[in-house]
Every structure is written in C-alpha cells, then in structure tokens.
C-alpha cells in the first residue's frame, strides 16, 4: 500500500477566475443541516462554504434557526424545511449538496436524506447523514457521487468495527470505506486520510490539538463543498480542503487554547489566496 503525503508539490489548486466571472459560474451549494436545537452546525458549514468561494449557498434548516442564521450571515439564503417535500423545490437548484451536519436521526431527517440522495450532483455526507447511512445503508443509495467525511466513531459505525479498530488500522479503514460505499472518503483525525474507490490514499500530516472542539468538522464539510462548487474533482476538493483546514489550525495554535471553529475562516482564506490567488 502506497500512501501519498500531501505537500505543496502535489496539492491541487483552484483555477484562476476570469475577469468576467459571475456568481452563477461558481456553483450553488445546497446544505441540508441543522435539526431542532442544532442550528450552529449548518450555519458553520454555510459560512465556510461561502467564505471559501462558492457562488451561491442555500441553507435548508429547521425553521427555528432561520432568523438567527440570517442575522449572523445575511449572504446565505436560508430556508426553513422539516420534510422531504419541503426540499423538492430547492434540490434541482444545487450543483453540489452537503448533507447531515446537525441534521438529527429522526424519521423526518431520514426522509429528507433519502430525498436528497436522489440528486445527481456530487454529495458531501457528514455527521448525521453518516449515522443514518450506517443504520440503513440499503435505503440511502446515492444517485450522484459521494464524499464521506467520517471521524473515527462514524467510520466505525459505517464499517461495523470498533472505534479502536479504526484508529489502529486507519489506512485500511479509509480504503475499505471507499470501496464499500464507492465514495471518496475523508477519515478525519490525527493524520487525516483521503481515499478513493480505486485505491488511491493520501495523508495530511498537518493540524494541531487546539482543533479538538465542536464545529471543526462542519467547517471542513463546508470547505470541501465550496471547492466542488467551483469545479474541482471530489478528490482534489477533499485534499485542498483538508490541507487548508489543518494548516489554518496550526496558525491559530500560536494563540493557545480556546480556538473555536469559526476562527478558521480568516486564516483559511489567507492560505487559499496565497496558494490559489484570484
């Protein structure tokens, strides 16, 4: 097994934007996230997606979260949705989907996930989308290609392993997930791994323990989604997002403890501009 280490020699870049570029050329990311009481997860993902360059971002979340989300980030189009039927007018607008942050595991959440999985576009599955997939894999057959972004606990549920087994065999776990679910997989954690169904395996050895906190995974999902929206392949989007996310965490570590997920947005933007200038 050959594992490729991500570095500045093999890291993908976003294409430069033409002078006559407009938002419609930069994708429309639709994020299905934020069940009752979990509005922050979807908002963090939407903010990250917008800040890292997606042309349009729609957040489909519980109605209780609409006002607060618009107050915090008015550039995001926020819709209150609680049923699969409520998704239907909005899904055809998507060029990429992010499914699951804070979505919950209720029957309604499962129905919404099943409806969204029928979309033909690239789908980023995170958090509760992964938990629901582990419970009923036969129900959630995705029409479009998937990117799965599990932490070790979610990976364990998807594989039927223990979390300890995943951590002891991280490379094998990532490759098995990619093959089993025919998806690009980002296995998060110390030395995040990116695997594809063809057996390609890449590792990012950057990052810092200050990133051990809530919302960091939601931000990563939003960044991957932003890069897919802008035309990157699933593997390239995952690699660039994981690298920027980890390097931004390293920059913030100089400030000590108490770093929060939304703090990543400013250093990630600076790193992206240095790496892939507009």
Domain assignment present for 59: yes
**Is the pLDDT reported for residue 1 higher than 80?**
no
pLDDT tens per residue across span 35-68? 999 999 999 999 999 999 999 999 999 999 999 9
With contact defined as beta carbons under 8 Å apart, do 36 and 61 qualify?
A: no
Domain assignment present for 19: no
pLDDT of residue 278: 86
Q: Is 102 annotated as a binding residue?
A: yes
> Average pLDDT over the chain, rounded to whole?
97
Torsional sign, CA 123, 126, 130, 131? negative
Domain assignment present for 213: yes
Dihedral angle over CA of 36, 40, 46, 49, nearest 10: -140
pLDDT of residue 80: 98
Domain assignment present for 14: no
Domain assignment present for 219: yes
Q: Is 221 annotated as a binding residue?
A: no
Q: Is 217 annotated as a binding residue?
A: yes
Q: Is 276 annotated as a binding residue?
A: no
Maximum distance among all Cα pairs of the chain, rounded to whole angstroms: 51
pLDDT of residue 174: 98
pLDDT of residue 122: 98
pLDDT of residue 134: 98
In percent, the amount of the chain with pLDDT more than 90 equals 99
In degrees, rounded to 5, the angle at the alpha carbon of residue 118 between the alpha carbons of residues 187 and 83 is: 95
Q: Is 238 annotated as a binding residue?
A: no
The secondary structure of residue 266, as a DSSP letter, is H
Host domain of residue 135:
25-275
pLDDT tens per residue across span 189-248? 999 999 999 999 999 999 999 999 999 999 999 999 999 999 999 999 999 999 999 999
What DSSP element (H or E) covers 98? Answer: strand 96-99
**Is the pLDDT reported for residue 23 higher than 90?**
yes
Q: Is 245 annotated as a binding residue?
A: no
Domain assignment present for 204: yes
In percent, the amount of the chain with pLDDT more than 70 equals 100
How far, in whole angstroms, is CA 178 from its chain's centroid? 16
Q: Is 188 annotated as a binding residue?
A: yes
Q: Is 22 annotated as a binding residue?
A: no
Domain assignment present for 185: yes
What DSSP element (H or E) covers 124? Answer: strand 122-125
**How does residue 79 score in pLDDT terms, banded at 50, 70 and 90?**
very high
Q: Is 40 annotated as a binding residue?
A: no
Structural domains counted in the chain: 1
Domain assignment present for 146: yes
Q: Is 151 annotated as a binding residue?
A: yes
pLDDT of residue 180: 98
The domain that contains 63 carries what CATH number? 3.40.1190.20
């Amino acid at each position: 097994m050959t594992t490729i280490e991500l570095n500045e020699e093999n890291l993908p870049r976003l294409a430069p934007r033409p002078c006559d570029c407009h938002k419609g050329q930069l994708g429309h990311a639709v994020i299905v996230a934020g069940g009752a009481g979990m509005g922050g997860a979807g908002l963090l993902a939407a903010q990250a997606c917008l800040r890292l360059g997606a042309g349009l971002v729609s957040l489909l979340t519980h109605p209780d979260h609409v006002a607060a989300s618009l107050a915090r980030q008015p550039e995001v189009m926020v819709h209150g949705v609680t049923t699969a039927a409520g998704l239907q007018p909005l899904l055809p607008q998507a060029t990429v989907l992010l499914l699951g942050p804070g979505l919950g595991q209720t029957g309604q959440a499962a129905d919404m996930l099943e409806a969204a999985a029928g979309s033909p576009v690239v789908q980023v599955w995170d958090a509760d989308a992964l938990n629901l997939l582990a419970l009923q894999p036969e129900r959630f057959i995705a029409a479009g290609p998937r990117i799965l972004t599990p932490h070790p606990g979610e990976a364990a549920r998807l594989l039927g392993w223990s979390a300890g087994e995943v951590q002891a065999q991280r490379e094998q776990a990532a490759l098995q997930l990619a093959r089993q679910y025919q998806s690009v997989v980002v296995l998060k954690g110390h030395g995040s791994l990116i695997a594809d169904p063809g057996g390609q395996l890449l590792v990012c050895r950057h990052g810092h323990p200050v990133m051990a906190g809530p919302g960091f995974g939601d931000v990563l999902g939003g960044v991957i989604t932003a890069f897919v929206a802008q035309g990157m392949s699933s593997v390239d989007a995952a690699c660039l997002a994981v690298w920027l996310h980890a390097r931004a965490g390293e920059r913030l570590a100089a400030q000590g403890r108490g770093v929060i997920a939304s703090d990543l947005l400013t250093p990630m933007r600076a790193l992206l501009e240095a790496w892939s200038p507009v």
